Amino acid sequence: MSYILTGFNLEDIGFMTIFDFIILVYGAYSIYTAQQMKKNDTPPAWLVPQQYVNRITKPREFCDLMGPKTLIFGLACVLYGIYGLIECFYIKNDFAEAAGVTVFVVFVIWFIISLQNAKGKYIK
């Protein structure tokens, strides 16, 4: 435990550290909303703007399609946030940071494409 506390340096906190923490929290929220979508068959406002929720033709099918993808995306965000924080404080390698960002961007692109396809299919 003392190693963790002595290895923590407040001077290392920068933009990417704050970004990693925000992504970690966002991922946890995404996991929560994915579980909520499964329970109540209503997409969250951050996924589908409120003015489009009433235009979803089959909300249950939309949630069945996007719920698991939102869960995977949330898990990816949590893992990236943890990885980013570990990398920032302990690994401190530019290549490791770039590799993590690249993998995270691939997940973001996949999720955006999946969401746009679902919106195109279910929002009229």
pLDDT digits 0-9 by tens, 57-71: 999 999 999 999 999
H-only helix segments in the chain: 2-7, 15-40, 50-53, 59-86, 94-122
- Tens of pLDDT, residue by residue over 112-121, are 999 999 999 9
Question: In this predicted structure, what is the pLDDT of residue 11?
Answer: 60
The phi and psi torsions of 41 (rounded to 5 degrees) equal: 55, 35
Whether 102 contacts 83, CB under 8 Å: no
